[in-house]
Amino acid sequence: MTPEDAPTSGRSLRSTITSQGEVRLALEERPLPALGEGQILVAVEATPINPSDLGMLLGPMDPRRLTPDGNDLVGSVPAELLPLFRDRLDKPLPVGNEGAGTVVAGAPEMVGKRVALFGGSMWADYRVADAGAVVELPDDVSTAEGAALFINPLTALAMVETMRAESHTALVHTAAASNLGQMLVKICAADGVPLVNIVRKPEQVELLEGIGAEHIIDSSQPDFAEQLTEAIRTTGATLAFDAVGGGTLASDILNAMERAQPPLEQYTPYGSTTLKQVYIYGSLDFSPTVVERRFGLTWSLSGFLLTVALGKLGGEAFRRMRARVQAEAKTTFASSFAETIGLADVLDLEKLGVFARRSTGTKYLIDPSSDRPA
């Protein structure tokens, strides 16, 4: 493609919450910015729908309350929730944290190459990027396989790196049958890290058994607390990563960790002085986190954000993690998608109703090139 042939506009999915409380999801044709020094233009061919993207797309909206308005979808946010969105009001926000595609303009040596990238605005026909910030895909990794090589793989690796940096020796993970959870099972098996997997359904137990997970606890079972305590005692886990957030799950884990401690030699009402840490990294359940404090005073419940964690772990750890993701793109870090849809399909109420469920087996991939107007 010569510079004259390079596209000058493309579709971009935008989510707006207005200061009047209207939510509007729209696929807008927008002019592309001119490329700056060292920049490239990527035609997006694969971008996943991650839970984090749904947070940006829908804000507080239940997708079942959206209605069509021409080609857009509209809904409304209750006035009392609007202050939570102070910093995004009236801004048509781009969506899509990561993806892959083909370089179509910019540095000539890059044009034609397939690359993966992240940093937002991926739910679009085209994405401008710094050439140095993208990762070239090996020939044997398809573009679809390259779509999700950042958020989940780096998050899973950051969990294990954080475990080591904070002097724990084993992990508990919830929503463990997710794409991310399956990656974590493989990483921990390879690295010899004991991992307790918490799932919510019997079929998810089977799924994880199928990939060799050793400790799998089904939180829907009546003896969940006892099983969890026993698995934590066996593994010695004092660190957990929780994708659920709401309800008592984080609290259940902290209490199980305390029960798994050896008896106190000298009794105090403050429990063991072994640090018990749960990080909440997702919000599959938006309801309040309910903490039954029966685990003494040596505990911590914290948010976990990938970018902040990477900053703490430092540049050397990040390079090590990225190299591992590239080397194991087709194995450890392979994602599976229930369906591939076009970019306009994001605004199809029926499809949106499925992928917005954030549950195992409803993970979708978007291929904007599949419905890009000629």
Q: For residue 68, what is the enclosing H or E element?
A: strand 67-69
Residue of the chain from 259, 322, 324, 357 that contacts its own copies (CB under 8 A): 259
Give the relative orientation of helices 151-165 and 179-191 as an angle to the nearest 10 degrees.
Answer: 40
Residue 296 lies near its own copies (rule: CB under 8 A): yes
Nearer of residues 45 and 53 to its own copies, judged by Cβ:
53
Q: Are 217 and 231 in contact (CB under 8 A)?
A: yes
Q: Pairing between strand 364-366 and 39-48?
A: antiparallel
Residue 299 lies near its own copies (rule: CB under 8 A): yes
- Please tell me the distance from the alpha carbon of residue 3 to that of residue 32, in angstroms, as a whole number: 13
- Please tell me the distance from the alpha carbon of residue 244 to that of residue 284, in angstroms, as a whole number: 5
Residue of the chain from 291, 334, 347, 354 that contacts its own copies (CB under 8 A): 291
Residue 211 lies near its own copies (rule: CB under 8 A): no
Residue of the chain from 288, 315, 373, 374 that contacts its own copies (CB under 8 A): 288
Residue with the two structure tokens 């308005």: 69
Please state the closest distance from residue 84 (CB atom) to its own copies, in A.
Answer: 6
Residue 308 lies near its own copies (rule: CB under 8 A): yes
Residues 38-57 that bind its own copies (CB under 8 A): 52, 55-56
Nearer of residues 83 and 210 to its own copies, judged by Cβ:
83
Of the chain, the end-to-end C-alpha distance in Å amounts to 15
Nearer of residues 114 and 241 to its own copies, judged by Cβ:
241
Q: What is the size of the binding site for its own copies (CB under 8 A)? A: 45
Nearer of residues 16 and 204 to its own copies, judged by Cβ:
16
- Please tell me the distance from the alpha carbon of residue 103 to that of residue 41, in angstroms, as a whole number: 6
Nearest to 14 by CA among 119, 87, 96: 96
Please state the closest distance from residue 255 (CB atom) to its own copies, in A.
Answer: 9
Residue of the chain from 289, 332, 335, 360 that contacts its own copies (CB under 8 A): 289
Nearest to 207 by CA among 235, 230, 181: 181
- Please tell me the distance from the alpha carbon of residue 36 to that of residue 38, in angstroms, as a whole number: 6
Residue 368 lies near its own copies (rule: CB under 8 A): no
Residue 19 lies near its own copies (rule: CB under 8 A): no
- Please tell me the distance from the alpha carbon of residue 264 to that of residue 267, in angstroms, as a whole number: 6
CB atoms within 10 A of CB 77: 19
Residue 283 lies near its own copies (rule: CB under 8 A): yes
Residue of the chain from 19, 20, 71, 268 that contacts its own copies (CB under 8 A): 268
Residue with the two structure tokens 């969105």: 85
User: Which residues contribute to the site for its own copies (CB under 8 A)?
Assistant: 52, 55-56, 59, 83-84, 86-88, 91, 93, 245-246, 251, 259, 263-264, 267-270, 273, 280-281, 283, 286, 288-294, 296-305, 307-308
